[in-house]
């Protein structure tokens, strides 16, 4: 089935097929659930390109997420140069960038989001606290949304009005996801000397992010409620793009709902442990949407 996906994606050169396969193996290791959803629920012709975009995003994050800020900034500068050189020349010594180059050739919209994502990485390197809701919104607009759009743009409708609605839905979705990320990662972020829960909300509740008490519980529930609003708004995403993408988008949003439920259940205990969606519930969701996909006719994928 993977070989067929490569064929349909237009990846026919033996070397490049091996490199896409290596990226696929990496994505399957670090993003197992997301890979399963893409593999089961997206048209075969899109899957290799989704894999290439996710692998690029992960490689970028890995390169800029280690060491003090000045080292991370230097790593980003070097990486930015390598990426832009690869896109300009149509080749690279790095397999992850050769795959990205081919994906950009097949789906030129990806290039715009690569540029926006690399610019947003400057904020990702530098941030240590999120001051308030406005600061969170800037983080989402500058970094989180461009990161999502590396892959989401592959599903975007061609119609201008529908595309605007799709992008707005993606914005709401990633804002909810980012808020959940910051709650799930609370202990890890604190160990790294940073926190993504808005500082003004922490102060308003009088919460100590290291102490699993009632104040932190109220803070978690407030942030979860805000994420809930955005996930509810994002539920319209399947309605503004091709029907063949609906099962994947519903599954993606459904998994975020499961993550949100887990965060609510964990409450103040997030000070000492992370949380995540229940595996049986996530598997059931994927199976349900897979069955739904089999009943949904799919039009040809845009190139």
User: Does residue 303 fall inside a structural domain?
Assistant: no
Q: Domain check: are 113 and 187 in the same one?
A: no
- Final residue before a domain boundary, out of 126, 152, 170: 126
Looking up tokens 């529930």, which residue turns up? 221
What pTM did the predictor assign? 0.93
**Which pLDDT belongs to residue 11?**
96
pLDDT (tens digit per residue) in 239-263: 999 999 999 999 999 999 999 999 9
Same domain, 207 and 92: no
Residues 39 and 146 in one domain: no
Per the structure, the complete domain to which residue 39 belongs is given by 1-126
Q: Are residues 122 and 140 located together in one domain of the fold?
A: no
Residues 225 and 158 in one domain: yes
Whether 71 and 181 map to the same domain: the answer is no
Residue 131 lies in a domain: no
- Are residue 93 and residue 74 in the same domain, yes or no? yes
Domain assignment present for residue 302? The answer is no
Indicate if 146 and 192 belong to the same structural domain: yes
Residues ≥6 apart with Cβ < 8 Å to 232: none
pLDDT one-digit tens code per residue, 183-204 = 999 999 999 889 999 999 999 9
Question: 250: part of which helix (H) or strand (E)?
Answer: helix 246-266
Structure letter (DSSP) for residue 299: P
Residues of the chain with pLDDT > 70, as a percent, come to 97
CATH code, domain with 226: 1.10.600.10
Count CA atoms closer than 13 A to 210's CA, side-chain side.
4
Distance CA 213, CA 222 (A): 15
Mean pLDDT of 49-53: 97
pLDDT mean across residues, the chain: 94
Nearest to 155 by CA among 69, 247, 292: 247
Q: Which residues contact 52 (CB under 8 A, 6 or more apart)?
A: 20, 23, 96, 99, 100, 102, 103
């Amino acid at each position: 089935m993977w070989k067929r996906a490569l064929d349909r994606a237009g990846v026919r050169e033996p070397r490049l097929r091996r490199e896409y396969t290596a990226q696929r193996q990496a994505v399957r290791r670090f993003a197992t659930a997301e890979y399963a959803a893409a593999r089961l629920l997206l048209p075969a012709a899109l899957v290799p390109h989704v894999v290439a975009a996710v692998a690029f995003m992960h490689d970028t994050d890995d390169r800029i997420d280690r060491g003090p800020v000045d080292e991370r900034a230097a790593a980003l500068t070097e990486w930015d140069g390598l990426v832009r050189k690869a896109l300009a020349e149509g080749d690279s010594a790095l397999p992850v960038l050769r795959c990205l180059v081919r994906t950009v050739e097949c789906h030129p919209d990806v290039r715009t989001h690569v540029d926006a994502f690399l610019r947003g990485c400057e904020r990702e390197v530098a941030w240590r606290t999120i001051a308030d809701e406005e600061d969170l919104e800037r983080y989402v607009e500058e970094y989180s949304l461009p990161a999502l759009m590396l892959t989401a743009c592959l599903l975007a409708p061609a119609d201008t009005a529908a595309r605007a609605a799709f992008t707005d839905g993606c914005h709401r979705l990633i804002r909810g996801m980012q808020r959940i990320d910051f709650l799930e990662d609370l202990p890890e972020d604190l160990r790294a000397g940073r926190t993504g829960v808005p500082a003004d909300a922490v102060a308003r509740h009088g919460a100590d992010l290291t102490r699993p008490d009632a104040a932190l519980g109220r803070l978690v529930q407030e942030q979860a409620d805000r994420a809930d609003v955005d996930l509810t708004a994002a539920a319209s995403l399947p309605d503004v793009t091709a029907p063949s993408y609906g099962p994947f988008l519903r599954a993606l949003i459904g998994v975020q709902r499961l993550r949100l439920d887990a965060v609510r259940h964990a409450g103040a205990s997030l000070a000492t442990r992370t949380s995540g969606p229940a595996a049986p519930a996530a598997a059931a969701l994927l199976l349900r949407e897979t069955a739904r996909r089999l009943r949904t006719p799919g039009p040809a994928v845009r190139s």
